[in-house]
Structure 1
Amino acid sequence: MTELFEHELPTIPRGRSSVFELPTGLMDMAAAGPIHRLKYAGGHVGWIVTDFQLCRKVLTMPEFSSRPDLRHSAIHEAIGDGQPPEERPGMFVGMDPPEHTHYRRIVAAALRLGEMRRLQDDIAERARALFDSDTGERVDLVSQVASPLPALVITELLGVEEEVSHTLSSCLERMLSLESTADDVRKMFTVIFDELGAVVARRQEDGGPGFIQNMIDDGQLSHAEMTSIAFQLYTAGHETTTNMIALSWLYLLNHPEAVAAIRGSDAAVADAMEEFLRFFSIIQFGISRAALTEVELGGVTIRPGETITVSLPAANFDAQRFSDPHRLDISRRDRGHLAFGFGVHQCVAQQLARVELTIALRVFLERYDDFTLDSYEMKSDTIVHGLNRLFVRQSGTDRP
């Protein structure tokens, strides 16, 4: 690898030419080699990995830490991977085993696939109600359905009041925006934690339903730990799912032949969902780890204290792993993508996300003939790839 002066080092590719393209320059970087020097937002010089196998390796190696106090952000002084800018009890996404294992086991028990599948009818009912709540000719499917649906599901699962959910959603959107200052981000984190902390306190008093109450009854965790876990579940179960839903609908609106291919087949919808997850790879700037010791990786030496960014989009477009990766193939049956990460920190809410996305696709297909694509607006200032708006024009066709 040719050594570059610090002022010559690349920063992480950010802009996109279209919603269906990866960040400009990312695949050129990947084509030049599996691992590269990278200049981070605060001036730190670290690395970026673009090779599928190396990305998986980094995410399983104990030599690389998830601790936020050791890592740097490639894109923003404070946002990082969406974790609080300071350590908090119970923030297991920023912990290493064995501390991480302790908390994750508690959360994973509530989010098993079987448990999530039992929510399907309720989620479908909510989705249909949201679709039917606006009878106007021109409707924004993001604000009308794709955004409120995951928020309603995760807040009900947690036991959070609906009015609190509106505050949390607004704060989360600002928290993940690259246009927010570091002070803005810290303020939004504080508001979210204060709101969720108040919910935990209310559940301790009134014994209302939901996962927060389950944690209280279990008696293993402090108020601060329960608040942190509620924060992690809320963030994992909201913004990413919203944007996956919207992007998937946009693709189907542009490809009626894809609708015909998957309509009426649960297996075909499942294949399409997994391909949407791979193709859109909405954690568009990847996830970072900090080297605890000297590590030889991909022909280079990673030194202790250096941050390495695992590019999930580049990994999911690695031609050595996926055939014709730049083609969105809804019949592709290869489920080995890294959209949810890999290893011990693989997204704990992935089964909930899959269930929600599957139902969102099914209910959308029920109404597909009512809709004509009007316009859409791509996000350009957030760590999650997606849509700000997805406008459709709807007919008066009778609905099922």
Structure 2
Amino acid sequence: MTEFPAGRPSGCPFEPAAGYTALRETSGPIKVSTPAGVDAWVLSRYDDVRSVLADTRLSSRSAPSAHVVPEADLEREVESGSILQNDGERHAHLRRLLTSEFTVKRVQALRPRIQQLVEDHLDAMLASEGPVDLVQAFALPIPSLVICELLGVPYADRDQFQRRSAILVSVDRPEDEVTRVSEELQQYMAGLVLAKLEQREDDLLSRLITRAEDQGNPLTVPELVSIGITLLIAGHETTANMIALSTLVLLRNPDQLNALRNDPALAPAAAEELLRYLSVVQFGLFRHVLDDLPLGDETIKAGEYLIAALSSGNRDESVFPNADQVDLSRKASAHLAFGFGPHQCLGQQLARVELQEVYTRLYRRIPTLRLAVPFEEIKFKDNTLVYGVTALPVTWDR
């Protein structure tokens, strides 16, 4: 049996796993063996991926990508506060409690603060001497600061939660280390939640506590801890990797970078195209099949597993012509980078605004930005659920 296509083509770090192009040309889903020790059906076409992610016959209880974790416990009991793993009414209830925090209107109100953070970090970079690591100096701090301020998490604690987050999104860490780090992060968040239960402030966690109480269905401490950890990790991990990785893509495609630098109005389209092109949730979304699911010439049986390959769907030529080329003028807003259906990324509007502000400002403020090391020395995160680079040394003309 074919193994799940996790490895990228040699020398092509921006391309999805090798084999997806051939899979898209087949008649339907293909069954593969996975590192988790189970067989699963891979869906690689855009229409199929979009369709199944909206189908209520699928469960996300092992979300998002447990299939790439060796010997993962796929039947582990789902925490009642997990917005990623609950389905149906429980998931809808949690999402309703959070939706008002991530509306377009509320996120747009954050834009001036995000602009200020981008400018402040660019000022600090420009005042520095010698090359800097764009990850540590710029890409990681901006979304981290935003999510910390939004949640009410002290930014001074960033080192510990960023370190733990990096371990939790890895796919090859020892189980005992993952368990220990998970427990540490839970203890940290529990302390924060208890403090906010005692004294409410103007932050998301405090408003969430009050909103649930006002509806007559207060959230428990473990539920609030689960929600807080999910938002904290998701709120900085994906966007930080997108900022660094997309900058590297643009440096490798100077015509596209010049177009963006010369026309800041291109930033919203650039964000959508780079989200499509990179698909940083690199291993797709894992789902349990609850009821027989006809797909093409196959019927996926209840009890089987399915993988919706986001990166492959985003390279489907029938939807995105010349899909393997990055084209910032493309209308790519229908991409699958945020998933689709009831579990589509809750914070997508926030991610969009952060990326737009970075793309509007970074390349104009530092027009001679370039790599400070050969491209071949850049190390990529092949073993993490969210793709990116471990560091991005850059320099510019001073």
TM over 0.5: yes
Other-structure match for 1:188: 181
Deviations 1:291-328 (A, max 9, x none): 11122112112111111000000101111111111111
1:260 is displaced (CA, Å) by 2.8
Aligned with 1:257: secondary structure?
Answer: helix
Match of 1:229 among 203, 227, 235: 227
Other-structure match for 2:274: 276
Aligned with 1:283: secondary structure?
Answer: coil
Other-structure match for 1:174: 167
Structure 1 gaps of 5+ residues are 1-7
Are the equivalent residues in 2 in contact too, given 1:78–1:186 (CA < 8 A)? no
Are the equivalent residues in 1 in contact too, given 2:145–2:155 (CA < 8 A)? yes
Find the aligned partners of 2:71 and 2:111 in 1 and give their Cα distance: 36
Aligned with 2:255: secondary structure?
Answer: helix
Residue identity opposite 2:291 in structure 1: T
Find the aligned partners of 2:153 and 2:221 in 1 and give their Cα distance: 15
Bigger mean CA deviation after superposition, 39-48 or 322-331: 39-48
Are the equivalent residues in 2 in contact too, given 1:44–1:72 (CA < 8 A)? no
Aligned with 1:119: secondary structure?
Answer: helix
Instruction: Flag the 1:163–1:241 CA change in 2: closer, same or farther, 3 A.
Output: same
Find the aligned partners of 2:71 and 2:157 in 1 and give their Cα distance: 24
Deviations 1:255-306 (A, max 9, x none): 3332332235454111111100000011111001111112211211211111
Match of 2:112 among 118, 121, 142: 121
Other-structure match for 1:302: 300
Deviations 1:93-134 (A, max 9, x none): 111111111110111111111111111111121122223324
Kindly report structure 1 stretches of 4+ aligned residues shifted beyond 6 Å: none
1:333-372 matches, cutoff 5 A: 333-372=331-370
Deviations 1:219-242 (A, max 9, x none): 232222211111121122111111
1:14-53 matches, cutoff 5 A: 14-17=7-10, 18-53=12-47
Other-structure match for 1:197: 190
1:33 is displaced (CA, Å) by 4.0
Are the equivalent residues in 2 in contact too, given 1:72–1:307 (CA < 8 A)? no
Match of 1:241 among 239, 242, 254: 239
- Give the TM-score normalised by the residue count of structure 1: 0.91
Find the aligned partners of 1:149 and 1:238 in 2 and give their Cα distance: 8
Number of equivalent positions: 386
Other-structure match for 2:383: 381
Instruction: Flag the 1:41–1:96 CA change in 2: closer, same or farther, 3 A.
Output: same
Residue identity opposite 1:127 in structure 2: V
Other-structure match for 1:5: none
Instruction: Flag the 1:314–1:50 CA change in 2: closer, same or farther, 3 A.
Output: same
Find the aligned partners of 1:79 and 1:196 in 2 and give their Cα distance: 24
Residue identity opposite 1:158 in structure 2: L
Instruction: Flag the 1:230–1:34 CA change in 2: closer, same or farther, 3 A.
Output: same
Other-structure match for 1:394: 396
Aligned with 2:390: secondary structure?
Answer: strand
Bigger mean CA deviation after superposition, 24-33 or 198-207: 24-33
Matching of residue 68 in structure 1 with residue 70 in structure 2: no
Aligned with 1:388: secondary structure?
Answer: coil
Instruction: Flag the 1:72–1:318 CA change in 2: closer, same or farther, 3 A.
Output: closer
Are the equivalent residues in 1 in contact too, given 2:256–2:327 (CA < 8 A)? no
Bigger mean CA deviation after superposition, 355-364 or 178-187: 178-187
Are the equivalent residues in 2 in contact too, given 1:78–1:185 (CA < 8 A)? no
Aligned with 1:348: secondary structure?
Answer: coil
Find the aligned partners of 2:205 and 2:260 in 1 and give their Cα distance: 37
1:356 is displaced (CA, Å) by 0.7
Instruction: Flag the 1:12–1:298 CA change in 2: closer, same or farther, 3 A.
Output: same
Other-structure match for 1:212: 205
Instruction: Flag the 1:335–1:269 CA change in 2: closer, same or farther, 3 A.
Output: same
Find the aligned partners of 1:298 and 1:107 in 2 and give their Cα distance: 36
Match of 1:98 among 83, 89, 111: 89
Structure 2 gaps of 5+ residues are none
Find the aligned partners of 2:158 and 2:253 in 1 and give their Cα distance: 34
Find the aligned partners of 1:66 and 1:380 in 2 and give their Cα distance: 23
- Give the TM-score normalised by the residue count of structure 2: 0.91
Instruction: Flag the 1:306–1:388 CA change in 2: closer, same or farther, 3 A.
Output: same
